[in-house]
Amino acid sequence: MLTKLAGGRLFDPANGRYGEAADLWLHDDRIAADPGPGATPDAVHDVTGKVVMAGAIDIHSHIAGGKVNLARLLMGEEHERHRFAGHACGNDRVGSDRIGGGSGIATPSTHSTGARYIEMGFTAAFEPAMLGSNARHAHLEMSDIPYIDTGGYLVLGNDDFLLDLIASNAGQAAVNDYVAWMLTATQSLAVKVVNPGGINAFKFNARSLDLDEAGPYYGVTPRTVLTVLARAVYELGLPHPLHVHGCNLGVPGNVATTLDTIQAASGLPMHMTHIQFHSYDTAGDRKFSSGAAALAEAVNRTPTLSVDIGQVMFGQTVTASADTMAQRHTAPLAHPRKWLAMDIECDAGCGVVPFRYRDNSYVNALQWAIGLELFLLLDDPWRVFLTTDHPNGAPFTFYPELIRLLMDRDYRLAKLAEIHPDAPAHTTLGSIAREYTLAEIAIMTRAAPARILGLTDRGHLAPGASADVTVYSDLADRRAMFERPDLVFKSGRLVVRDGTLVATAQGCTHVVRPGFDELIERRIARHFDERIGLPIKHFRIQDAEIRHGAGPQLHPCQRREVP
Amino acid sequence: MTFHRDTLCPFCGLGCGDIGIDLDPSGIAARPSGCPQADRLFQRSMAVPTDARLGGAAIPMDDAIAEAVRLLESSRAPLIAGLAADVEGVLTALSLAERIGATVDHERSEGLFRNLAVLRRFGWSVTTLAELRNRCDLVLVVGPDPAQGFPRLWERWVVPEPAFVAGNGRSVVFLGGEPLPETVRWLGARIETSGLDTDTQTDLATLVGRLRTALAGRLAADDPMAALAARLRSARYAVVVWAAGLFDGPQPDLIVEGLVRLIRTVDGITRCAGLPLSGADNLVGANQACSWRTGFPLRTGFDGGGPLHDPDRFDWHRRLRDADVTLWISAFRPETPALATGGSVIMLAPPETIVAPEPALFIPVGTPGIDHPGDVFRADNVVALHAGALIDRGLPSVAEVIGRILAALSQNAKTREAAGC
């Protein structure tokens, strides 16, 4: 199948194209070079004057796994209010020819998740908190999400095995082998650390744990966990740096901890996630103010650092996190008033707290402003990513509105005038003139996410790349533009036309597989026998289990040494 | 004879991965595992009839699929229940339910819904089996001994020495239920007497209420319940275990809610978490798959607007009465409950199943973890396990059978479209 997209304006920052008019060719599931005169495309779409980008990539969105599924059950009222009938379109795989049916906004069901993403022109989204003990579940769920590519970031840093390795001075090489073994066994793409050591400490009844505080039982500090893992990820040569959900999430004054955390990395690459929730200062009568300026300054001058924001948008959502310690502090604010918490398998935990962000709440209004402030004060769009930490700051379906806030200063100021009247005084948002350009949006949502995850054939439009393409009308109302693309192609197939699903498609699951010294397996096997109560072979996820036998897509790792 | 060590057991929901299976030309059998369920259900013969049956008479598989399609297409009020299948089987059943507008429920969902009712209106504070095994110094068992349904619970998750408990190991207290003789044998001196009336006839709701009153400090200090409350407060990591399916009496979900509230109180002082157990025959996997596919737990149906959940109306016991066609799925064990329905029954079950009365249509299927690989969830909701295949008796999986039904339904729809009717 040869498809020609004729006359569009290509925004393809990875290949240095910023809006020039050019034809784009898709051959089967890949972008192709112009086949030259005489080629007879099977389909031609005239996209003259329209904006053409690669499919968007969401690097941090809680879309699958135990906590998401529990959140769906807790959010029953929302699911009853938002039910979707399936579309009959195509029949690729027996049983999945009705697509997009389900329910929910903040915690959409699998088919609805895939449908909402592809309708906005997103062709990949990554589950950023996959517990090893829950990995098989997460993969089962991800393979039931149509249209988009997925992958999971393995949560480490609160597992008793790793803390024991560190406490017993097993050495960095043993840690590296363990990390590599776990990534392989759980079919993961990256490593995430959540409140390093804190979730484990909470199991011993510690209710807080600072960066340099020794945790109970192991006596290991969060700083040590963080640096050991950052080094393991670096030395194993994973494409994605350690994905860090830091200490003290949501606590006023936590910007100091966040700045310390940047120092702790001491030059090792690190991705700090949902930094909006980690950017709070304590100025003013309410002892809650923006620390965005200081944090943005630190990120701007640290080239080894990348961040995503975790923007808050107003309305009902639910917070779902492995950070049981933080979630226990949030629980009294639950709206509706119900929440759940789990300790999980000597591995980590999960806490789910429904939440309604209100623009007339001083704190929520400031959270909203802090997120935007960060977006606008961070200079390098290659190191900042568009996220709402779905669903924790807002459902991912708010991205078009968020893009408009970033691209349209007048609109932003009008919104700033609507929030709690005391909030603007405690942020610099009102004084920031910057408007994101289409090129910057293309970097932040396509080229940069692919690069930071090591997905070499995604996020750009050069020949050989996956034919994941989105075509937008260049509307002045950027929200309307990004809400409803004209055309979306997934792996070369036209799946969305004028915002409506017209065919089915399935994405793939991305993984890394750094090698390890097999000696570590003996120690891990003993841990499984003696502690976890499960022979190790039942823990390991085989390739045949991924996407109904299709198997994962592997990305290479390049081992390196810390200079 | 071949021996398969460390075979995964998919039956009760504890997910034991250490079953030894002997395989010879006549079939398979488990080496005595200490679990009556595993020992019985792993006993499968190679010599089984693999024919489908229509009204009791053997028919070719193609005809059986066609007959299932005919029945389901003409149904005005279909029910898909039993739903005892691996995750893939459940997902395929959900696709079928969406297609024909059926409601779905699992045979053993009663206990699960007692817990879910509380989760959905109030929340949960729970833990998992490995946390119980390694971190827990005090187990409070509420109601009848869960070992009735989970035979190796104590042996595998409480008898091993906890890794993170210093000193005297752990204690187990039974409240409102007696330990089974097997349990006493396993736990021995770990069982601590509470000094309370543990007669199984005692009203559980009252007992739980009194324990909460004691935790609030409103009972006399010499009341044995006050002593139990003090015991919970002084534990490092207490785990409250219950199997809601075994609760008697009206409104058992209120007992569960009392327990969750009690756990929250203790968890504010020291660490405390619940372990609600329900989950034989991949009940938890069926509920997980239904939740991710539809956004709702089991007992969900489909109307023109999408999935619709009703924990009362869509209980299979009730739906069975008005369903004109019931697709009953029972892949794990060769036994089914009596199905009191005036409608037709299509049954997908292992060939050894003795069914009376004979259903309208019987299609033999394999068992996940015996005849084909499949994913099942453990009863603690977190761990999914991949059970492998042991023998090939030429039996299709539930997913394969329903997949063929779905494909035939699509084909019929296309034919009708082409004919313009």
Here the ipTM equals: 0.97
Report the SS3 class of residue B152: coil
Residues B150 and B204 in one domain: yes
Fill in the amino acid letter for A112.
S
- Nearest chain A CA: its distance from B386 CA (Å): 7
Q: Do B386 and A141 count as a contact with CB atoms less than 8 A apart?
A: no
**Cα separation, B74 vs B77, whole angstroms:** 9
The beta-carbon neighbor of A96 closest among B17, B95, B291 is B95
Per residue in A105-133, pLDDT tens? 999 999 999 999 999 999 999 999 999 99
Q: Spell out which residues of chain A touch residue B9, defining contact as CB-CB under 8 Å.
A: none
- Residue A94 predicted with pLDDT over 50: no
Q: Which residues does chain B have within 8 Å of residue A532's beta carbon, measured at their own beta carbons?
A: 130
Q: Which among A77, A345, A506 is the top mutation candidate for probing chain B, defined by the most B β-carbons within 10 Å of its own β-carbon? A: A345
**Do B264 and B295 reside in the same domain of the chain?**
no
C-alpha distance from residue B174 to each of B14, B135, B160, B235, B265 (Å): 20, 19, 19, 16, 19
Asked if A133's CB is within 8 angstroms of B130's CB, the reply is: yes
Report the sign of the C-alpha dihedral through residues A254, A257, A259, A265, in that order: negative
CA–CA separation, B92 and B111 (whole Å): 24
Could you tell me if B266 and B292 lie in one domain? Answer: no
Chain B hits for A529, Cβ within 8 Å: none
For residue A398, give how far its alpha carbon lies from the nearest alpha carbon of chain B (Å).
20
CA distance A131 to A185: 12
Residue B239 lies in a domain: yes
Is the Cβ pair B131, A85 closer than 8 Å?
A: no
B303 SS3 class: strand
CA atoms within 13 Å, Cβ hemisphere of A340: 29
Note whether A140 contacts B: Cβ–Cβ < 8 A: yes
Count of alpha carbons within 13 Å of A136, Cβ hemisphere only? 24
Does A531 sit within 8 Å of B381, measured CB to CB?
Answer: no
A344 part of contact set with chain B, CB < 8 Å? yes
> Are residues B287 and B210 part of one domain?
no
| B262 and B285 co-located in one domain | no
Put simply, whether A342 touches B (Cβ < 8 Å) is: yes
**What b/e readout covers B372-381, taking b as 16+ CB neighbours within 10 angstroms?**
bbbbbbbbbb
Rounded Cα gap, residues A293 and A312, in angstroms: 17
How many angstroms away from the CA of A202 is the closest CA of chain B?
Answer: 8
pLDDT digits (tens, 9 = 90+) for A431-470: 999 999 999 999 999 999 999 999 999 999 999 999 999 9
Does residue B417 register a pLDDT over 70?
A: no
Does B194 contact A at CB distance below 8 Å? Answer: no
Q: Which of B243, B278, B313 is the last residue of a domain?
A: B278
Question: Based on the domain organization, do B300 and B172 belong to the same domain?
Answer: no
Note whether A206 contacts B: Cβ–Cβ < 8 A.
Answer: no
Domain membership of residue B2 (yes or no) is no
Is there a single domain that holds both residue B97 and residue B226?
Answer: no
Give residues 347 to 376 of A whose Cβ lies within 8 Å of B. 347
Q: Does any domain span residue B214? A: yes
Across the interface, whether the CB atoms of B6 and A542 are under 8 A apart is answered: no
Whether residue B70 sits in one domain with residue B118: no
Contact A94 B403 (CB under 8 A): yes
Structural domain includes residue B10: no
- Of the three residues B278, B310, B338, the one that is the final residue of a domain is B278
What does the angle CA B377 – CA B380 – CA B382 come to, to the nearest 5 degrees? 60
Contact with chain A for residue B294, Cβ under 8 A: yes
Convert the pLDDT of each residue in B347-371 to its tens digit. Answer: 999 999 989 899 999 999 999 999 9
Sole residue written with tokens 């009204």: B55
Whether B352 maps to a domain, the answer reads yes
Ramachandran area for residue B221 (φ above 0: left; ψ -120 to 50: alpha; else beta): alpha
Chain-chain contact of B126 with A108 (C-beta, under 8 angstroms): no
pTM of the predicted model as reported, rounded to 2 decimal places: 0.97
Nearest to B134 among A107, A342, A531 (CB): A531
Phi-psi region of A460 (alpha: psi -120 to 50; beta: other; left: phi over 0): beta
The 8-class DSSP code of residue A528 comes to I
Residues A376, A377, A379, A384: what is their CA dihedral angle, to the nearest 10 degrees?
-70
Q: Is B18 within the bounds of a domain? A: no
Residues of chain B numbered 360-389 and touching chain A (CB < 8 Å): 375, 377, 381-386
Residues B122 and B241 in one domain: yes
The H or E element that residue A492 is part of is none
pLDDT band at B421, cuts 50/70/90? very low
For position B201, what pLDDT does the model report? 57
Which tokens in the block code for residue B267? 């968890």
Residue B256 contacts A where some CB pair is shorter than 8 Å: no
Say which of B88, B123, B383 has its CB closest to residue A133: B383
The CA distance from A449 to the nearest CA of chain B, in Å, is 26
Please report which confidence band the pLDDT of residue B411 belongs to, taking 50, 70 and 90 as the band edges: confident
Q: Are B223 and B329 found together in one domain? A: no
What's the first-to-final CA gap in chain A, in angstroms? 48
pLDDT of residue B199: 55
Region B26-35: what's the mean pLDDT? 96
**B 132-151 → A contacts, CB under 8 A:** 133-135
Distance CA A341, CA A334 (A): 13
**Cβ within 8 Å of A, B 41-100:** 87-88, 91-92, 95-96, 98-99
Of the candidates A462, A455, A558, A561, the one whose C-alpha atom is nearest the C-alpha of residue A515 is A558
Q: A36 phi and psi, to 5 degrees? A: 85, 175
The shortest CB-CB distance from B307 to any of A95, A103, A533 is to: A103
Strand, helix or coil for residue B192: strand
Q: Give the pLDDT score at B194.
A: 77
Domain check: are B92 and B115 in the same one? no
- Asked whether the beta carbons of residue B382 and residue A137 sit closer than 8 angstroms, the reply is yes
Q: What is the pLDDT of residues A398-428, one digit of tens each?
A: 999 999 999 999 999 999 999 999 999 999 9
B407 close to A (CB below 8 A):
yes
Let me know if residue B362 belongs to a domain: yes
Would you call B135 and A538 a contact, using CB atoms and an 8 Å cutoff? no
Number of domains in chain B: 2
Can you give the CATH number for the domain in which B71 is found? 3.40.50
State the pLDDT at residue A266: 86
Kindly state whether residue B30 falls inside one of the protein's structural domains: no
Each residue of A337-372: pLDDT tens digit?
999 999 999 999 999 999 999 999 999 999 999 999
What band does B420 get if pLDDT is binned at 50, 70 and 90?
Answer: low
Q: Are residues B233 and B307 in the same domain?
A: no
Closest residue of chain A to B116, computed from CA coordinates: A73
Residue A92 has pLDDT above 50, yes or no: no
Residues within 8 A of B (CB atoms), A 100-129 only: 101-104, 107-112
Give contacts of B156 with chain A, Cβ < 8 Å.
533
What are the structure tokens assigned to B58, written together? 């053997």
List pLDDT tens digits, range B75-87: 999 999 999 999 9
Task: Please give the share of chain B, as a percent, with pLDDT higher than 90.
Answer: 90
Q: What is the pLDDT of residues B184-206, one digit of tens each?
A: 999 999 999 877 765 555 689 99
Contact A103/B288, CB-based, under 8 Å? no
- Determine, for residues B116 and A342 on separate chains, whether the beta-carbon distance falls below 8 Å: no
* Structural domain boundaries enclosing B193: 111-278
- Give the CATH number, domain containing residue B116: 3.40.228.10
Name the H helices within B216-364. 224-234, 252-267, 283-294, 316-322
Q: State the pLDDT at residue A338.
A: 98
Boundary-marking domain end, from B262, B278, B294: B278
Reported confidence tier of residue A100, pLDDT bands at 50, 70, 90: confident
Mean pLDDT over the full length of chain A = 96
- At B242, give phi and psi (nearest 5°): -150, 155
At B221-279, the pLDDT tens digits run 899 999 999 999 999 999 999 999 999 888 899 999 999 999 999 999 999 999 999 88
pLDDT in tens, A31-49: 999 999 999 999 999 999 9
